[in-house]
Amino acid sequence: MHDIRAIRETPALYEKAWDAKGLSGAQIVAQILELDGRLRAAQTALQAAQAERNEASKKVGQAKAAKDDAEAARLMAHVETLKTTLETQTEAEREAAGLLKTLLEGLPNLPAADVPAGRDEHDNVEVRRWGEPFAIKSARDHQSLGEALGLMDFQAAARMSGARFVVLKGELARLERALGQFMLDLQTREHGYLEVAPPLLVRSETMFGTGQLPKFADDQFAAFPGLSAVAGAEAPDLRWLIPTAEVSLTNLVREQITPEEELPLRLTALTPCFRSEAGASGKDTRGMIRQHQFNKVELVSIATPEQSVDEHERMVGCAEAVLKRLELPFRTMLLCAGDMGFSARKTYDLEVWIPSEGRYREISSCSNCGDFQARRMDARSKKAGEKGARFVHTLNGSGLAVGRTLVAIMENYQDEGGRIAIPQALHPYLPGMTHIGGSA
């Protein structure tokens, strides 16, 4: 969400920023300022009409007390006229306010000053690289490996749920469970994140707070109350399945004033995530890369404006640590303005090496959202002994997407016979197992 006063005072800044996001900045700012002008003009006219009506009503009483019936009648007629003016200006105010609110709600965050210019992923900048890609001759993809082992079943998932779902069995199911536990333990025991078990169903205002609504409603799964009504139950309010635990964790501070002495607040959760992938038609239709349901360990930080830049770099390091412990080659990318998400001010993506594709693929995205989400949630902080409160900064990142990490392990740790070695870091979580598809 954006501060209308800041747009009034620095319109050129917003024009340039939205141009960098691939939008028509000048046109958008002109529309905002026109609606803002209409709103303020309606508010001024409404206030003037209210004051004039109150004064005229007062004079009616005075005229009647003086038995000046003609003046009282004239004033009463004028009050009736002012009622019409009030109705007109109230409607004008409501219309302008609604249009302005809708426009502002649909506009993305402004890129930070050090975010590179660019339109898409081809303009992202590599920051660093870790590890050497595994030398695997004729690497098989994870789906071929999993199906050959009899531990990955896409057809059974499709029969019960449709496309973009998978059933994992036996050792692969255990490996996925171990991965999630390993990631949580690393973030809580070594990196100081507080583990949270949040709701998976949230209200519309919760999704609005982190930026999923209203613009990206088609990418979400909704639990419709009408289905409960058909079953004879009382229909509840609409709920949404979370696309990431970022939604639940960040909203823990919505409509709250958090003492600054408690910040940064670092939270993590392992949850299922649900995405309709409405904008990904035809992309990654094979395998587990892009699923409607997947597990992910989410990292969220609530920070002061002074802390958020350093906290962002720290969060990226915490996500990178997972890949390093698993000895998976990866690179860290700074996203250009045009490739960042709606709520992000600055984003780093971690991309892991996928041998069957011969390229790096995103496995984590870590974003500093500044005060953008905090304004939508009314999340503030305050120093002890001070009167004023200010908006917090919110940050989120994947630490990591469990399914994609499973894919990376399967492909990078495969041998020519189709077995999959288990990374050393996971051995404590899988006692007695060193490989999937056979013992060492």
Which residues are the active-site residues?
Answer: 275, 290, 362, 365, 404
Do residues 170 and 177 touch, judged by C-beta distance below 8 A?
no
Of the candidates 96, 101, 92, 98, which has an alpha carbon nearest to the alpha carbon of residue 46?
92
- What's the per-residue H, E or C state across 181-208? HHHHHHHHHHCCCEECCCCCEECHHHHH
Amino acid at 371: D
Contact of 220 with 260, CB cutoff 8 Å: no
Identify whether 225 is preceded by a cis peptide bond (ω within 30 of 0).
no
Q: N- to C-terminal Cα distance for the chain? A: 55
Instruction: Give burial (CB, 10 Å; 0-12/13-18/19+) of 306.
Output: exposed
Q: Which residues contact residue 255 at a Cβ distance below 8 angstroms, ignoring those fewer than 6 apart?
A: 377, 378, 379
Helix, strand counts (H, E) of the chain: 13, 18
Token pair belonging to 178: 């171990």
The rounded distance, in Å, linking the Cα atoms of 235 and 411 is: 46
- Answer whether the bond into residue 400 is a cis peptide, omega within 30°: yes
Comparing CA positions, the residue from 127, 165, 131 lying closest to residue 423 is 131
| Pairing, β 221-223 against β 239-241 | antiparallel
Question: Which tokens sit at 191?
Answer: 């990196």
Tell me the H-state helices in 242-307.
Answer: 246-250
